[in-house]
Amino acid sequence: MVDAIERRLISSGSAFEAVAGYSRAVVDGDYVHVSGTTGFDYAAMTIDEDIAQQTHQCFHNVGAALSQAGCTLDDVVRVRYYLTDVKSFEQLAPIFGEYFARARPAATAILCGLVDSRMKIEIEVTARSRSHP
């Protein structure tokens, strides 16, 4: 008999999740898929104008979602960075390295527009839980 795969939805508490029909993260078996996450401080619903500060806040938000799933940034196996300005990559690369020095996930940087002009970066990750055999 095959065990049922655990599927659990994780919310940040944002009303937009219900409006747009998505979850901050989805735990699917050993994998945790974290939606594209921006630099908004969800508690205050503010966003810093500085892209470096937005990036740190993105990692804070991603880390919080992973924590709810029983993971950390060290469990990330895949990351996608969505940037609005190609020139920002050089500035942000050391910040990415700071957070992923241990995980060293497969990574892609994508240049694009985001849904709010205040947003300069969005980060999406997939992690694999080490708590399962």
**What average pLDDT does range 95-99 have in this prediction?**
98
- The two beta strands, 7-10 and 76-83, are unpaired
What is the per-residue pLDDT across 33-83, written as a single tens digit (0 to 9) for each? 999 999 999 888 899 999 999 999 999 999 999 999 999 999 999 999 999
Residue 1 pLDDT level (bands cut at 50, 70, 90): very low
Per-chain mean pLDDT for the chain: 92
Query: Which residues share a beta bridge with 41?
Result: 46
CB 31 within 8 A of CB 128: yes
Token pair for 66: 């992973």
- The pLDDT score that the predictor gives to residue 131 is 65
- The pLDDT score that the predictor gives to residue 26 is 96
Domains of the chain: 7-128 (3.30.1330.40)
- The two beta strands, 106-111 and 76-83, are parallel
